[in-house]
Structure 1
């Protein structure tokens, strides 16, 4: 299973008339993340950029500290879905095995392998100081996402996470039916390319929940901007992490919820009097 979208027959109603035709829809598959042949989590995901997903999920869940901790990775299609089979360096595998012995139950989307309520709101790392950005850079960054969201243009059904810098523009973008998965895929892609994220903007096409802020903080992101709004817990978590959290980004502006000192007004061009 490698297609990220497939054509399906559909009947479209336009006004009072129906039209038979074909639409492409996003594919969705169970993806198991296994370490040492033991399944840690099963996520429903778009079956694309799966190596990035394996690394990004492992980083955001604290299973590895860097891609070098994964000594082998194999993407295997099985009868019921896809397995991302990873082998870890000895100390990492031992730590994960100890952690799995204390799991209370099955994993869920966004919060995998938790054994207590406290683990759901675990402390996040403090991010670096980061750059000062103008209002125009926020708007330009978000505009750059749309033409790069090719799967969403095809299906109108997937989320995107991207990284943008003032000097390089759009560095990377990943798409998935799950917003958590899209951000994990982005994290994996950036880590594999050894790209630092402290001088750019992490862009999201979704709402900003606490899990998204936790993943961004683990990534080291200093600025996170999204088309939708954050939750209250996401705001508190971003504030504690030192992240500038920006939501409701529209062509006519946006709203900053935490650490607004990183954002400054676009400079007005000087007027020359003849």
Structure 2
């Protein structure tokens, strides 16, 4: 296989690393969504490609009911452990509407690029209640950005980490059973406009925030990625983790890192 297509191994084994390896969304993200949409605790939220529920749990208090859907069984299992009071459904986004009803907000966070975007955009449009919105959260939660001033600890040596992953898995980015030589899909705005959405209205939060991270957190961040998910290493996973920790200890012998993260974008589209 020379090109990637969706399969159930995409994030196999990665879900258990999300909670430790991905930095939380900024605390003011929920307030920004509430204010931008005039939310008052009524209506329903559908979080598509919810993963282990990071965004779902954050936004759920803004609604009367929240539903999270994800295709990966490990992600849904982690979400159910994290928040058993929320309705979690294992399904692909392409299976929507799946008799789930209508929603005041349908949200996507770091997930839309894995989907048949034209099909999902069309199907979701009919699930958004009158006056409701599609909310896309644009963020990078596994690693920070370069530059921006001094930090209290060394930044993780991401170039060396990526080189190590390439040594184990090859130079072309892996994804499930295939490869992504050109990365994930882009051009979301064109997809949304063709599907009949207006927007986006854009709100940003969390610019320039600095997070302190441990060696364990950086290791978990690497293993939370589809491109370096645990299953890809097979019986060499323990050796990879040992080598990864050695790379990290050479950069920060005390196991403490710091990173500056880019702002989180809230992109609001209306059908």
The alignment's TM-score, normalised by the length of structure 2, stands at 0.22
Based on CA coordinates, which of the two structures has the bigger radius of gyration?
Answer: 1
TM-score normalized by the length of structure 1: 0.22
Compare the two structures and name the one with the higher strand fraction: 1
The structure richer in helix per residue is: 2
Does 1 or 2 have the higher relative contact order (CA < 8 Å, sep 6+)?
Answer: 2
